[in-house]
Structure 1
Amino acid sequence: MTPAARLAAAIEILDEVVIAARDGGAAADTLIQRYFTTRRYAGSKDRRAVRDLVFAVVRSSGERPHSGRAAVIGHARANDPALLALFGAAGHSPPPLVQGEPAASGGLAPAWLREMLGLRFGGDVGRQLVALLDRAPLDVRVNSLKAARADVAAVHPDWEILPRTAHGLRLPAGTVLEQEPDWQAGHIEVQDAGSQIAAAALAAKPGELVVDLCAGAGGKTLALAADMAANGALHGHLVACDTDRGRLSQLPPRAQRAGAHGIDMRLLDPGQEAAALADLMGKCDAVLIDAPCSGSGTWRRNPESRWRLTRERLARLATTQAQLIQLGTRLLRPGGRIVYVVCSLLPAEGEAQLAATPGLAGWSSRILTPADDGCDGFFIAQSSRL
């Protein structure tokens, strides 16, 4: 593909990304993969170049653009003027530029989200936003059911030990994880350092009754299983719950590979969660609530997600988060521990959810950010049942 053809491909993909962000469609990564599935002529260098350009444009457009073409023109004018010469060039190029045609405005986030983040970060919001839109590193958690971090690190001296985690390593950029023997053997699991810190905050122990109330595909569940291990096996009762069948169905093969046997999986019906967990009410030693959220702390992985969020969707998420905290509290025995986590940095999903909850002691909380902690953005709060 010529540079002009790559630019045309990026514009086509960006058109799909804009529509998907508006209508709740697939993520940008998925759209890029689909695009090239039907275009076998594109080589690996072409695919990489187009993907890099798509994400560079997405990162540079704070507000959702009108179109992929407008997004590219705005990005080119602000960051890469050489791209402008490719419009109307020979070959499979995008049509020539037209006098006065629209161009997307730059920026790091939609104005209303920047304002909300300003409530948290004040004058530091610019630095925090820049880090939130940087490329994310590849972190893994060493699965202590099968291996020790020191042993894995000794085999891979170029893998960085993450000191704020008990089992974390950071891999060099470009590592093809699926080709690593430690991955194939289940010695490591992909998990951002912040996510590892969040799971560890529950301090799950062998022999306990622990509920992962929003398990999703099971990343934190597997971390809890390792924390609850005795003699190399899960010891206790670990319950992984979710209302999303597709995501929860990813846990069994992951658990099998990790050697995390005996996890109790429960698919919950929305609105009927308490009924499905009636046998656990008032009995749990610890409950982790990794609640559905805006994902504003993970923009560096999915930068187009900041185009998807609306005030209405944020309000719906906040309602769900409050309901989950109430449910988690009911599951606890007296003295039991609760950890509420969101991969969000918006106060509406953090401190605003910690209003006095009947039956709980006071909350303690912390914030993790890419700028200050080198991991995804998280709000993590802990409390216990009176």
Structure 2
Amino acid sequence: MGQAWPFRVGLDAVERIRTLTPAARCSAAIEVLTDIAERRRPAADALKDWGLAHRFAGSGDRAGIASLVYDALRRRASAAWIMGSDAPRAVLIGSLRLQQGLAAASVAALFSGERFAPAPLSDDERARLESGTLEEAPPEVAGDAPAFVLPELTAALGDDLIPELKALARRAPLDIRVNALRGGRDDLMPALEAHGAAPTPHAPMGVRIPIGADGRGPALHVEAEFLDGWYEIQDEGSQLAALLADPQAGETIVDLCAGGGGKTLALASQTRNGARLIATDGDPRRLAPIHDRLRRSGAAAEVRTPRSGKARADVLEDLDGTIDRVLVDAPCTGSGTWRRNPDAKWRLRPGSLALRVAEQSQVLDRAAKLVRPGGRIVYITCSLLPAENDAAVAGLLSRWRGRFDAVPAQTVLAAGPPGLASAVRQTAHGLQMTPLRTGTDGFYVSVITRRS
């Protein structure tokens, strides 16, 4: 994994802590970025391996290194442009200027070559830091996005392409959803006051927690209120998508791609356990966390876990044609979550997009078989790409010609909070949330009704 980290095994704990200066963290970040580039692996895996190999590094040090790595990945293309190189060192240097706004002198202080600091800046590196500009950079560089998705993103974002991509390159906020099965948002706010909590701009049960300079928020998953099921960590966009699904008490609802259960829990909260909820997923491994989350939150849902293997039975076959509402939180490229997963955009390939589009067609067709006449499919992605959004819905409408209709976005938005309608982008078959317009991850929602 790149150059060996230069710590002596015999250092005592005090010395080990002292050596992880900001400059030493830069050296570690370059090492992790090198591992990511050479092995084409997720950043989380590379960071985990670095931490396991350097156990002397405390949680604060690991968080600081992770912040440097993710910021560098957020601005990988633009940092490489101004530095004239896409080497991990150059990308980190460029990101310190572009993402953190550090002047050349401040970067030079970190890259001093002393002790565990990276080697000193060269004359060329210093000159590029001082005079490099993005004025003539192409859109994929200025917006830090893969070039092959630019046509799709342009179709979705129009004149806001570069501002939206820049918003996608910023750090994401930390949002939580208050569980109405435990109480209201006002009931929880005093317990979070010390964290600087404030209501989210749109979601009625959402709370936003400020993140620190290192990009990390407080460890909310160990708070007593979390352990008692008072809240779940969930981006406001995901909360709004569940809200726009408009679940009703008395309905039978299938969460077809439930995964860890985030939206299942939200639907249970919204209906106050008044709906029959059935959660499943094509990948049984993804369902593993849902059981503990249901117990903690008090949410009532039936979990149907498919068996692995080619001969597995359809666990929903007995429900075909009877379901009031099918939630399809579809597998997608995750382009709307690049704020949180910046390395994912650089690992995206045309083949992976094509694979996701095929999976979306399959899961929509399965939902179409489940829903009753007059019932609804709620199609959700965390993507900005029309191929995964409007085009997927159009494909369903074409394959099932005459049997389904897309509900107008204005009608869907009636289930949401006031002010959301003016913030979202309305599309041919749904609506799009974005970091620039709504301050959320990039969620798409379409509601499709089956004709009676």
Q: Is TM-score (shorter-chain normalized) higher than 0.5?
A: yes
| Correspondence 1:181 to 2:246 | no
| 1:109-258 aligned within 5 A | 109-157=145-193, 158-173=196-211, 174-229=217-272, 234-258=273-297
Is 1:15 the counterpart of 2:34? The answer is yes
Deviation, 1:45, is: 4.3
Alignment partner of 1:324 is 2:363: yes
Tell me what 2:12 maps to.
none
Deviations along 1:154-209, one digit per CA (max 9) or x if unpaired, are 55454222352232111232333134332121011111111011112222222221
Say if 2:346 is the partner of 1:307. yes
| Aligned-partner residue type, residue 204 of structure 1 | P
Equivalent pair of 1:14/1:68 in contact (CA under 8 Å): yes
Report the counterpart of residue 43 of structure 2 in structure 1.
28
CA distance in 1, matches of 2:378, 2:60: 44
Give, in whole Å, the separation in 2 of the partners of 1:321 and 1:311. Answer: 15
Alpha-carbon distance change, 67 to 243 in structure 1, aligned in 2, over 3 angstroms: farther
**Does the CA contact (< 8 Å) of 1:76 and 1:84 recur in 2?**
no
Residue 5, structure 1, aligned to residue 24, structure 2: yes
Report the aligned-residue RMSD: 2.9
Match of residue 352, structure 1, among 370, 379, 391: 391
User: Which residue of the partner structure matches residue 89 of structure 2?
Assistant: 69
Partner of 1:293: 332
Q: Report how many aligned residue pairs link the two structures.
A: 377
**Match of residue 92, structure 1, among 97, 111, 116:** 116
- Inter-CA distance 261–375: structure 2 relative to 1 (3 Å threshold): same
Unaligned runs of 5+ in 1: none
1:234-264 CA-partner distances (Å, limit 9, x unpaired): 3443111112233210100111100123423
| CA spacing shift, 1:194–1:3, aligned 2, 3 Å | closer
* In structure 2, distance between residues paired with 1:143 and 1:189: 7
Q: Tell me, in whole angstroms, the C-alpha distance in 1 between the residues paired with 2:44 and 2:176.
A: 20
Kindly state the Cα deviation for residue 84 of structure 1 after the two structures are TM-superposed.
5.3
TM norm structure 1: 0.88
| CA spacing shift, 1:332–1:312, aligned 2, 3 Å | same
CA deviation profile, 1:39-92 (whole Å, cap 9, x unmatched): 133244433332222122111113898652343355467665344565571323
Normalized against structure 2, the TM-score is what?
A: 0.76
- Measured in 2, the distance between the counterparts of 1:226 and 1:248 equals 19
> C-alpha separation between the residues in 1 aligned to 2:295 and 2:365?
32
Q: Is 1:338 equivalent to 2:345 in the alignment? A: no
Q: In the alignment, which residue of structure 1 is the partner of 2:442?
A: 377
CA offset digits 1:7-59 (Å, max 9, x no partner): 22111111222345x3xx3x323432331233133244433332222122111
Asked whether the equivalents of residues 245 and 378 of structure 2 are also in contact (C-alpha less than 8 Å), the reply is yes
- Structure (1 or 2) with the larger CA radius of gyration: 2
Q: How has the CA–CA distance of structure 1 residues 258 and 113 changed in structure 2, closer, same or farther, with 3 Å as cutoff?
A: same
Q: 1:85 to 1:236 in 2, by over 3 A?
A: closer
**Deviation larger for 55-64 or 166-175:** 55-64
- Partner amino acid, structure 1, of 2:405: A
Counterpart contact for 2:381–2:389, Cα < 8 Å:
yes
Find the counterpart in structure 1 of residue 414 from structure 2. none
Report if aligned partners of 1:241, 1:268 keep a CA contact under 8 Å in 2. Answer: no
Deviations 1:299-343 (A, max 9, x none): 110111110111111011111111111111110000011110110
1:4, 1:89 within 8 Å by CA — same for their partners in 2? no
The 3 A distance-change label for structure 1 pair 93 and 169 is: closer
Say whether residues 1:281 and 2:320 are aligned partners: yes
Asked if structure 1 preserves the Cα contact closer than 8 Å seen for 2:328 and 2:364, the reply is yes
Checking the alignment, whether the CA contact within 8 Å between 1:153 and 1:159 is kept in structure 2 is: yes
Aligned-pair identity in percent equals 39
- Rounded to whole Å, the distance in 2 between the matches of 1:333 and 1:182 is 39
Q: Relative contact order (alpha carbons < 8 A, sep ≥ 6): 1 or 2 greater?
A: 1
- Over 3 Å counting, the alpha-carbon distance change for 1:8 and 1:172 in structure 2 is closer
After superposition, the Cα gap between the structure-2 partners of 1:271 and 1:213, relative to the gap in structure 1 and judged at 3 Å, is farther
The question of whether the paired residues in 1 share the 8 Å contact of 2:108 and 2:120 is answered with: no
Relative distance call for 1:261 and 1:292 in structure 2 (3 A) is same
Find the aligned partners of 2:68 and 2:439 in 1 and give their Cα distance: 24
Q: Contact 2:255–2:280 (CA<8 Å) still a contact in 1?
A: yes
Partner residue, 1:52: 67
- The answer as to whether partners of 2:278 and 2:301 remain within 8 angstroms in 1 is no
How far, CA to CA, are the matches of 1:43 and 1:155 in structure 2?
Answer: 27
Q: Is the 8 A contact 1:138 1:172 kept in 2?
A: yes
Task: Give ranges in structure 2 of 5+ residues lacking alignment.
Answer: 1-19, 129-136, 212-216, 409-429
Equivalent-residue separation in structure 1 for 2:224 and 2:404 (angstroms): 45
Give secondary structure in 1 for the equivalent of 2:406: coil
Once the 2 structures are TM-superposed, how far is the Cα of residue 144 of structure 1 from its aligned partner? 1.2
Relative to 1, partners in 2 of residues 1:222 and 1:171: Cα closer, same or farther, differing over 3 Å? same
SS where residue 167 of structure 2 aligns?
helix
